[in-house]
Amino acid sequence: MKKVLLVSAILLVLTGCSNVNVGEVGIKVHLLGGDKGVDSEQLGPGRYWIGVNEQLYTFPTFMQNYTWTKSRSEGRDEDESITFQTKEGLSVNADIGITYTLQPDKIPVLFQKYRKGIDEITHIYLRNLVRDAINTESSTKPIESVYGEGKAELIKAAEGRVRVEIEPYGIHLDHLSWVGNIRLPETVTDAIDAKISASQIAITRQNEIETAKAEAQKAIAVAEGEANARLLVAEAEAKAIRLKGEAVRNNPGVAELNAIEKWNGVLPVTMLPNSTLPLIGVK
């Protein structure tokens, strides 16, 4: 009988013990009696006796990363993406990433505030805060600012709002981030596609105009070059003729000498009366 009691006592002790792992901080919560509430003592890594009137909660002290995503194959098996509205009332959906750490010395304060473990704090409280902060910021912005250059400013502003809310309770927000593309309403997507298509067509037409201008300028340059070449040739020929004429006028004997040089020495067979022999002068 004593052995049975001893074994029972050992089992009771073992089953009443809980672990706080490395990288975690534990706190005891007293469920009943005058001591009911959160124990201010923080429990480091080790094994602790937890009585029937007590409950142990553990919180990680290393950096936490989580993404609230639409995909059911990531994170939890449900759509955790966040939907928010723009200034025009358009609904936009996105996957949001969060990175944060818990301050060990404020773990009791954290639990007193939320009365939940780390999973509930992440998936309920923090997610709601992030959703509300993004909605507050996006509701004043047009749709172009949400999917365009303004989306970085939007997530930064929401991050600042969330940080102010959670810092006093020992949660340090490192950053929020967009994960993947923002999902826009179909009408907006179609309008963006049409705008991009029109812009590409305009660029193509402008390129064609510039090409045509360049080809026309090239043709004009070629024509001008050919005309200038012909003009230079004509000017050269005219100058040569002029110089030749002046030479003949200034030197009459040159023409006669050229004719004599070209004469084959044969006199005409038939001559008209009173005609003279060509190029032969007798003094």
pLDDT, one tens digit per residue, over 78-127 is 889 999 999 988 889 999 999 999 998 888 888 888 888 888 999 999 99
Q: How many angstroms separate the Cα of 277 from the Cα of each of 10, 111, 255, 256, 266?
A: 160, 141, 17, 13, 11
Give the per-residue SS3 of the chain. Answer: CHHHHHHHHHHHHHHCEEEECCCEEEEEEECCCCCCEEEEEEECCEEEECCCCEEEEEEECCCEEEEECCCCCCCCCCCCCEEEECCCCCEEEEEEEEEEEECHHHHHHHHHHHCCCHHHHHHHHHHHHHHHHHHHHHCCCCHHHHHCCHHHHHHHHHHHHHHHHHHHHCEEEEEEEEEEEEECCHHHHHHHHHHHHHHHHHHHHHHHHHHHHHHHHHHHHHHHHHHHHHHHHHHHHHHHHHHHHHHHHHCHHHHHHHHHHHCCCCCCCCCCCCCCCCCCCCC
Q: Which pLDDT value is given to residue 109?
A: 86
Residue 5 has pLDDT above 60, yes or no: no
Instruction: Find the mean pLDDT for residues 220-229.
Output: 81
Q: Which pLDDT value is given to residue 4?
A: 44
Stronger pLDDT, 231 or 183, i.e. the higher one? 183
Instruction: Find the mean pLDDT for residues 122-140.
Output: 94
Q: Which pLDDT value is given to residue 110?
A: 87
Residue 110 C-alpha from the chain's centroid: 38
**CA distance linking residue 40 with residue 28, whole number of Å:** 8
185 Cβ contact partners less than 8 Å away, ≥ 6 residues apart: 90, 91, 92
Residue 177 has pLDDT above 90, yes or no: yes
Closest residue by Cα to residue 43 from 65, 61, 31: 61
Residue 11 has pLDDT above 50, yes or no: no
3 φ/ψ angles, rounded to the nearest 5 degrees? -65, -40
Helices (H) and strands (E) in the chain, counts: 8, 9
Q: How many angstroms separate the Cα of 59 from the Cα of each of 1, 22, 26, 30, 113?
A: 42, 11, 6, 17, 14
Tracing tokens 């969060």 back to the chain, one arrives at 98
Instruction: Find the mean pLDDT for residues 22-42.
Output: 73
β partners of residue 99? 65, 175
Q: Which pLDDT value is given to residue 13?
A: 44
**CA distance linking residue 32 with residue 209, whole number of Å:** 85
Stronger pLDDT, 94 or 149, i.e. the higher one? 94
Helix (H) or strand (E) holding 190: helix 186-250
Q: What is the pLDDT of residues 158-176, one digit of tens each?
A: 999 999 999 999 999 999 9
| Residue 272 confidence class, pLDDT cut points 50, 70, 90 | low
Q: Which pLDDT value is given to residue 178?
A: 95
